[in-house]
Amino acid sequence: MMKSIESKGWLEYESGHAWCESAYKYNTHPLIAEFANTVTNLPIIVLPLVNAMMMRKYIRKVNSGVVWPNLLLAFNGIASTYYHATLNLFGQLVDELSILWILNIFLVVYIPVMQWFPEKHKKNIPLFRWSVIILASFISTLCFFEPNLNALALMTYTIPGSMVVHYEGKHANLPEIANFPRRIFILWGLAISCWFSDRLVCDLWLYLGIPYLHAIFHLLSSVAAYNIFVMFNMIDIEKEIKNTNLRLLFDTFRLKRALFGHCHI
């Protein structure tokens, strides 16, 4: 195991990566290392559970698999809450590994309805799914060798992920989700800008007295992730619901084009 893990206990304070808010004078609660970064995980916990609850009939009667990405995202919110409250290495690794598995399980669940996957290879979907799980397991072991690079490595998923979201949104032929890719890209673009700003120019935010860019990242990324889940749930339902007696109801809270408008199925 690398020196970075050997030299510090997994549960020791700040054995994990500390964010800008952890500067001493911004510790607003004696038992919580990064208060804003901790409490802003609440949407990451709540939104996927709301999504799963709204789709409970579909999950129970048609496709139980769609519940797993939602549960994993909620678990990630809990893991991230623990990580930012303690800043220990154990919390950091659980947080990062849960993100890795969200991405891969999402692919495993929704690959049958993704347009980019060649129709002629649909019969090989079980093999593809097992390949994804094996690869994710291998990558998971690498996360323990140099934890400081894990977050940056996870960010590289943004490129293929954005391509998939754009392609699927464009080819789904569902008017209800036509605006989703644009909304997701704006939210995620703002989110990663906050993430990199907090990580790279922390001194500037400390000087200005606002070291809360990572907390804003949590809020923006949680809304972006929720929109991705709703979008792919719509695609999945459109494909699967034809042989059932269920009916698809899609509602947008506030304006249809609103960036933060709440949508649900």
Binding site: which residues?
19, 21, 34, 84, 214, 218
d(CA 207, CA 124): 55
* Neighbour-count burial for 183-208, b at 16+ CB within 10 Å, e otherwise: bbeebbebbbebbebbbeebeebeee
d(CA 231, CA 71): 17
Q: Three-state DSSP class for 264?
A: strand
Pick out the residues of the known binding site for Ca(2+). 19, 21, 34
Single out the residue of 190, 127, 184 nearest to residue 161, CA to CA: 184
Pick out the residues of the known binding site for Zn(2+). 84, 214, 218
Q: Are 152 and 142 in contact (CB under 8 A)?
A: no
Distance of CA 200 to the CA centre of its chain: 22
Q: Are 262 and 253 in contact (CB under 8 A)?
A: yes
Residue written as token pair 């998923």 = 157
Region for residue 131 given its phi and psi (left: phi exceeds 0; alpha: psi -120 to 50; beta: otherwise): alpha
